[in-house]
Every structure is written in C-alpha cells, then in structure tokens.
Structure 1
Amino acid sequence: MINFNTVSLPPLPYQFTRFSGRFFGIAMAEYVVSNIVNWERDYKNVYRGQCEGIWIKDKVFADYRTISDLTIGILGMGAIGKHVSQVLKGFDAQVWAMARTIPEPKDRCPYVDEYRSVSELPDLLQNCDYVVAMLPATIETNNFLGGDILKNCELKKSVLMSVGRGNVISEQDIVKSIENGWISGAILDVFAQEPLPKTSLLWKIPQVIITPHYAATTRGIDVAKLFKENLEKYCANQPLPNIVHINKGY
C-alpha cells in the first residue's frame, strides 16, 4: 500500500478512485450502533456472566441510555461519516460533526445537528457522550487526539470510539485518558501497531473493547458492484465518486 504521507508523487495523469462510500458506510454504521448499544447495556459483563453461569441482575440495567438520549460526535465527515450520521439520526440521536471545512448551510448534511471546525474540537468533545474518530491517516491527523485534548471529555465522561486509522491517538494517550478519568472508556478497532501486541496494556483495561480492525471489512461482492457502477459511469462520461487526491493523502 502506498503511504501518501511519506512518498512524494507527481500529479496523476488519470483518475484514481478509492473503495469507499455507501458500502463502507453501511458496515461502519452497523459497527457504531451495535457497539453503542453493547456499551450502554453492558453486554460485555452479561456475556462474562453467561460464560461463568451467572444470572446477572443489576439495577444498572434499568438505568441505561438509549441512542436517542445521546449526543454523538463524528470526527471526519466524508461519505462514510455522512452515512453513519444518517443511521444515528434514524435512532433520534443528536449528531455533531467535525469537518476540515464547515460547509455552507445549503450544502450541509441534513443528519448533522451541529458542525464544528478543527479549531473548535474542544467544544465538540465537551458536548458529546460518544466521540467517533473516523479520520484518514494523513500528516494532519497524526496524534490528532493525543496530548491532553481528551481532557475536554471529562465533563461528560465520553466514550472514545476509534474506527478510522490508528495514527490518530497513541496507546499511551488512551491509557492516560482512562486513568485520569477524562473518558469513561474506549471502543477500539484500529491501532498504531497491528496486530495489537499481546504486551499492550489495552488488553487488560476493563473499560476497553478491542476488535481486530474489522469495523468495515472490504467484501469482494461490494468491490465488484462498485467497479461495475464506476465502469458504467466512466463509459457514460459521468463523474466518478471517491477520487483520490494525492495532496490530501487520501
């Protein structure tokens, strides 16, 4: 795979498209919704009880939040982020979005309640129950959530969900944010090093859910469908979706 962050390339003399859009959007939305429900209903603890033959009945189960109770922040409003916001809005969530450039009102995603720019990230973090990082791996996103930025989550004890690329935050900063009480936990699908080493502290933290980078796994049938659609558009001289922009890194 070409790493656009480190390789200097001249402008392409042809159009080059990515596999993205609704196919990834559907899978990613299912991952986001299922993990929010899993977290709010504490299914992890319920499954542990099943494995041990314990009928868990705790008052916490009667005090869960539904998605409609939540404000969910999406970092990265490309085609996938827009699809995820549409699904979340279907559950009546409040959806906030961080975008590199805030679109004009007429161009905004109808499923987003509040937009924030990159410089306004602290405000988004202070207001969201879940922060879903869906950012690509670029120079600009390296350690984007690192340092002390997640201290802004302390008021709402947000849950961090990382499903974009693992360069956005380091393992050390995730651990620090949990230990300091800035976030209540993390749902992690991507990591700086994959597979995640067995020595990683993340494996042992109860407030962390780990999945092996499968939130939106590419399916062969979807690739074939998208290729067919793109070929038909190309032959009809229609614009192609998901064009790669070398200068952006994706």
Structure 2
Amino acid sequence: MSTAAIMRIPVISNIALLSEKVRAALAALPSSAIENLRIEIVPVSTSALTGPDAVDAATLELLRDAQVILGDPKHVLPALPYALNVKWVQSTFAGVEAVLTQPRRDFTLTRAGGIMGLHMAQYVLGWVISKERKFHLAPLHQANHEFRSHDMRYRHYHDVTVGILGLGDIGSSIASLVSTAGFRVIGLKRSSSQPATTVDYVVNVLPSTVDTRDLLSRDTFQACHIKKPCFINVGRGDVVDEASLVTALDQGWLSSAVLDVFAIEPLPHESALWSHKHVTITPHVAALSMPEDVAGVFARNLSHFHASTPLEYVFQWSRGY
C-alpha cells in the first residue's frame, strides 16, 4: 500500500471558523478527488506575520515548504517573502488588490469567485426597493404620529431601470435578482453615455484595473443630469473620482449615492462624503466572505490542483482582474 503524501496548507485569515469549514469541505470531497494526498490545514495567526517580533521558526518552516496558501490578501502579502515554494494562492475575497502590491508573479492566484454574487445582489436590490418605496420616511412619520401615505407613493417597477456596469459573475447575479423583482435591467458600456437618458440607477461592479481607475469622473456624471439616477457602488472605490462624485451630487446630476467601497479604506474622517446629505455609506459589507462559501471554492480548487486540471477563478496578472 502506498503512503499518502502530506500537504500542509497555511490558512492566513481573520475569517472566523474558516479552518474548520475547510476541513469539513475537504472531508466531503469524493475520495478520488484528493487520492493519495493527506492534507493538514494549519491556521497561522495574522499577527504572527506583522507584529514586532520575528516570525517563529515553525511558521517559517511551514511557509517555506508550502505549495498552497489560503488567506485574506492583505494577510497573505507579508507571508509571500517566506513562501519561496508556493505555487498557488487562494484568496478568501473576490478582490486581490493587496497581493498586487508585491512584485512576484511566479504563482497562480485565484479569487473567491462565484460566491459573492447573491450577497451583492441582495444589497443592491435592498437599496433599490428601499429608495423606491421611500422606507426612510417611515420612522420620521411614525415619530410625528403622521399617517402620510401620499409621501410614500412609488413608481411601478416596470418603469424603473437599473443599469449595471460590469456584467461578470457578480454583475450577472445582480441583474438576475433585480430583474426577478420586476425592475428593468440593462448592461452599461464603459464608453457609452447610456446612463444619461435610460436608467434610474447606475450600479458599478467594475474591478480596479489600470483601465478602470477614475473611469467614473466629472464628464460621466454630468451626462447623467437628465434622469438624475441614484449611483450605487459595490465594485471598487478607485473606479470613482470621489471629488467628481461630490460635485455631481451638489449639482444635481445624480439624485443620491449609496457607497460601499472607497478609494481609501477606511474612508478618511475628513472625507466630504461622510456628511453629504445625499450620500449613504456602508463599510464594505455588501458581500462578506462566509467561511463555508470560501471553503467550498477552495476544496474544489484543491481537487483541481491535485489533478493538474485548470483552477477556477484564476486572476490574470496581465489583465489586472
């Protein structure tokens, strides 16, 4: 009988219960998926790599020998100088920008794809419905003991158009749920002035790349002045020139903005967005990485890695997403 090879996989993440969920997901795989491979999931404290003390010998050995790492991008970053033999890094997030700040490109990087779409879609649909139904007025009327149904009249959902910038797996999930709720949905092109005349909501789902940074700036927003849509950003913060966004709101080119992502996070205390009367801010929570979802993506990809078949949701270094 052959002895199974041992693969020790560092898990560098602040996601609670991730290691336990990964072990469960691996145990649920068919035995043929990881045949002749014994896997040891080893949690690594994120503070062990960034604290003032030197990285301990056991962690150094673990990282040096690791072929595979699972982790949050910003916590994987300080581990990479020690991970000389790594072949594949699985991100726990859809975004991997933190890893891009280091020069190495000699390993495969995969995103936590296919698991964020419905979370994002619920966030977007929730805000569209909330704004259309004017839910924000209910507590105000209640506080004043006012039964004011006229103030909460709403448009027919067939008359409301939601435009989506970025129709990848997440954008497609948003489109599917929003259209199921009855709203009209269209895909928007980066170079088009479509938002100016056809949509009531502009939803940005674009990733951060060289081509998309500051893509949504003064000219784009000014073209929206006819319909004055609400702008919802669940993509990446640096796709938007925030100064231009403030101008667009001040000038009435946009009616309002719901922002979950920002060029700098946490959003600086002095940002004009905090106090703007037409802005609603949420702290990058449109889609959280749930441990069981991440574990499922990782387990499937590990079976691909072991079988030398293509991994899912591979980040393309040359394209930036």
TM, length-normalised to structure 2: 0.64
Quote the offset at 1:232 in angstroms. Answer: 3.3
Contact 1:75–1:133, Cα closer than 8 Å, also in 2: yes
Quote the offset at 1:204 in angstroms. Answer: 2.3
Which residue identity does 2:122 align to in structure 1? E
Contact 1:154–1:181, Cα closer than 8 Å, also in 2: yes
Q: Distance in 1 between matches of 2:275 and 2:136?
A: 14
Quote the offset at 1:139 in angstroms. Answer: 1.4
Quote the offset at 1:147 in angstroms. Answer: 2.0
SS at match of 1:206: coil
- Root mean square deviation of aligned Cα: 2.2
Which residue identity does 1:57 align to in structure 2? R
* Aligned counterpart, 1:139: 210
1:59 aligns with 2:130: no
**Structure 1 stretches lacking a partner, 5+ long:** 99-115
Distance 1:203 1:16, change over 3 A: closer
SS at match of 2:316: coil
1:59-82 deviations in Å (ceiling 9; x for gaps): 1312x1254321111111111111
* Aligned counterpart, 2:226: 155
In terms of fraction of residues, the more strand-rich structure is: 2
208-217 or 169-178, which deviates more: 169-178
TM, length-normalised to structure 1: 0.81
Quote the offset at 1:222 in angstroms. Answer: 1.0
Match of 2:109 among 10, 13, 16: 16
196-205 or 178-187, which deviates more: 196-205
Quote the offset at 1:97 in angstroms. Answer: 1.2
Query: 5 Å matches for 1:81-230?
Result: 81-98=171-188, 116=189, 118-120=190-192, 122-230=193-301
Kindly name which structure, 1 or 2, has the bigger radius of gyration based on alpha carbons.
2
Match of 1:73 among 163, 167, 188: 163
**Structure 2 stretches lacking a partner, 5+ long:** 1-73, 75-96
Contact 2:232–2:259, Cα closer than 8 Å, also in 1: yes
Q: Distance in 2 between matches of 1:232 and 1:143?
A: 39
SS at match of 2:273: helix
Q: Distance in 2 between matches of 1:5 and 1:140?
A: 15
Distance 1:85 1:58, change over 3 A: same
Q: Distance in 2 between matches of 1:238 and 1:54?
A: 64
* Aligned counterpart, 2:45: none
Q: Distance in 2 between matches of 1:9 and 1:234?
A: 20
Higher RCO, 1 or 2 (CA under 8 Å, sep at least 6)? 1
Quote the offset at 1:148 in angstroms. Answer: 2.2
SS at match of 2:227: coil
Match of 2:133 among 41, 45, 48: 41
Which residue identity does 2:112 align to in structure 1? F
Contact 1:17–1:244, Cα closer than 8 Å, also in 2: yes
Q: Distance in 2 between matches of 1:26 and 1:78?
A: 13
Quote the offset at 1:138 in angstroms. Answer: 1.2
Contact 1:88–1:95, Cα closer than 8 Å, also in 2: yes
Q: Distance in 2 between matches of 1:190 and 1:135?
A: 11
Which residue identity does 2:210 align to in structure 1? I
Contact 1:46–1:56, Cα closer than 8 Å, also in 2: no
Using the aligned pairs only, state the percent identity: 35
Distance 1:222 1:66, change over 3 A: farther
1:72-125 deviations in Å (ceiling 9; x for gaps): 111111111111111122123222113xxxxxxxxxxxxxxxxx4x322x1244
* Aligned counterpart, 1:31: 123
Quote the offset at 1:189 in angstroms. Answer: 0.6
Contact 2:196–2:226, Cα closer than 8 Å, also in 1: no
Q: Distance in 2 between matches of 1:224 and 1:232?
A: 12
Q: Distance in 2 between matches of 1:234 and 1:43?
A: 48
SS at match of 1:16: strand
